[in-house]
Amino acid sequence: MSRIKTDICILGAGSGGLSVAAGASQMGADVVLLEGHKMGGDCLNYGCVPSKALIAAGKQAHAMRHQTPFGVTPVDPDVNYAQAKDHVHDVIATIEPVDSQERFEGFGVNVIREFGEFISPTEVKAGDTIIEARRFVIATGSGPFVPPIPGIDKTTHYTNENIFDLRERPDHLIVIGGAPMGMEMAQAHRRLGSQFTVIEGAKAMGKDDPEMAAVVLERLREEGIEIIEGEQASEVSEKDGKITVTTSGGSYTGSHLLMAVGRKVNIDKLNLEAAGVEYDRSGVKVGADLKSTNKKVYAIGDAAGGLQFTHVAGYHAGIVIRSALFGLPAKAKTSHIPWATYTDPELAQVGLTEAQAKKEHGINLEVVRFPYHENDRAIAEGKTTGLIKVMVVKGKPVGASIAGAMAGELIGMWAMAIANGLKMSAIANTVLPYPTIAEINKRAAGAYFSPRLFESDKVKKIVGFVQRFLP
């Protein structure tokens, strides 16, 4: 058994762990990185990257079928599902070197390809190596949660960890779970030629603003996706190559089953008790400084039990670097964290939803809206479905919701505004190139000021007075 002493030991080589490792090592810290599975974690191998690659394939097929408004004859594409999956894996392979062991060893990181477990508050065992560190960072991420539905253990089913290895196009894919991942996969597969049924026990996309979710769900239904809401799966079974999901409202039969009901944090193997680290089913219990009950142990990303997004893990990495390397006070916030669902149309959110803002700010809240169908670029490209709405309190945005084309790109301006405490005037004063979809943001800001300028008797009196004396 060998022994290593180091400044920082990171458990998990996903987005958050790699960000801490790269930053800390290049700033002079001695870093050990532990990973018992794939470098790059869930995002690169099973999540964000492969799903967006498959969505891109589906988008191409959909575009070929719907070209009439542009004077181009639509065609029914010959979809090769296996080649679409080749595209997915080519994308992963292209990005892999960025997250590779070799690259991080080039930064000076000691990469050990073993799972780690705590054996004391200051020690972790990984294979035949014991690592003693001044600070630890738990960045183990999360994996798919498969609920104990009767029959699930006897039924062939997929999760995000193996659906991208499926080479034969499903005839009829059933997904249990109406969260973003399920909806993204539903639309991608439908556009690639599969029938698709979504079964959700509550409301589909229930964590999003209902007005915005409705825009997306309407489009999905128009494309032929069956969305069942308010029905809990009570049993699943497989017979003669067919899978049946029985719910409180009926039975649904398809060829394949995808489980997308949520995530569970990967902390079971860490032996956190030995480290004096408290946790629950949501993850490691941490404060705003991301420190656990053992102040030498941080938790970031999904393992910290908060928002489960790759960019949150990267944000957390910056907090840890400021704290662990420089001893500076640093706390994580959530008010400026955006997220997006990459359906067509996309749905994006940052800060408070309308309902949350009403509850928190009451009569001080103003909600401004601007529709896509009044944006010239959206009209030119036939992407007029959707809207933006911004929640404003005392001249500052406290939340923004966007449903429509490029929502994931557009939300960045509002994330910046909220993060930096900018006023609506900062958005309104920004000059954007014409014609762009991004002008939707500026027009929303303009919608906030319009009543104050064009419907104000006071303003009209001032203008009238000034005009009397101007030469």
Q: What is the pLDDT along the chain (471 residues), one digit of tens a residue?
A: 899 999 999 999 999 999 999 999 999 999 999 999 999 999 999 999 999 999 999 999 999 998 878 889 999 999 999 999 999 999 999 999 999 999 999 999 999 999 999 999 999 999 999 999 999 999 999 999 999 999 999 999 999 999 999 999 999 999 999 999 999 999 999 999 999 999 999 999 999 999 999 999 999 999 999 999 999 999 999 999 999 999 999 999 999 999 999 999 999 999 999 999 999 999 999 999 999 999 999 999 999 999 999 999 999 999 999 999 999 999 999 999 999 999 999 999 999 999 999 999 999 999 999 999 999 999 999 999 999 999 999 999 999 999 999 999 999 999 999 999 999 999 999 999 999 999 999 999 999 987 876 777 787 787 778 888 888
- Please tell me the pTM assigned to this model: 0.94
Q: Which has the closest alpha carbon to 442: 454, 429, 423, 455?
A: 429
DSSP 291: B
Contact status, residue 281 vs residue 266, Cβ threshold 8 Å? no
The Cα–Cα gap between 385 and 372 comes to: 6
The Cα–Cα gap between 261 and 239 comes to: 23
DSSP 201: S
User: What distance, in Å, lies between the first and last C-alpha atoms of the chain?
Assistant: 90
The Cα–Cα gap between 120 and 296 comes to: 12
Domains and CATH numbers, the chain: 2-39+100-144+264-326 (3.50.50.60), 152-262 (3.50.50.60), 338-454 (3.30.390.30)
Q: Which has the closest alpha carbon to 275: 291, 297, 290?
A: 297
Give the contacts of 426 (CB within 8 A, at least 6 positions apart). Answer: 417
Phi-psi domain of 251 (left: phi exceeds 0; alpha: psi -120 through 50; beta: other): beta
Dihedrals phi, psi of 136, to nearest 5 degrees = -120, 150
Beta bridge partners of 146: none
- Torsion angle of C-alpha atoms 308, 261, 85, 349, degrees rounded to 10: -40
- How far is C-alpha 4 from the geometric centre of its chain's CA atoms? 36
> CB burial class (10 A; 0-12, 13-18, 19+) of residue 455?
exposed
The Cα–Cα gap between 93 and 76 comes to: 30
Please tell me the predicted confidence (pLDDT) of residue 461.
82
3-class SS at 232? coil
The Cα–Cα gap between 212 and 387 comes to: 8
Please tell me the predicted confidence (pLDDT) of residue 392.
98
Please tell me the predicted confidence (pLDDT) of residue 226.
97
The Cα–Cα gap between 116 and 112 comes to: 9
Please tell me the predicted confidence (pLDDT) of residue 108.
97
Q: The tokens of 368 are what? A: 């401004």
Please tell me the predicted confidence (pLDDT) of residue 451.
80
The Cα–Cα gap between 238 and 307 comes to: 35
Alpha helices by DSSP H, 2-155? 15-26, 41-45, 48-65, 81-95, 101-106
Please tell me the predicted confidence (pLDDT) of residue 67.
82
The Cα–Cα gap between 198 and 64 comes to: 25
Q: The tokens of 197 are what? A: 């049924």
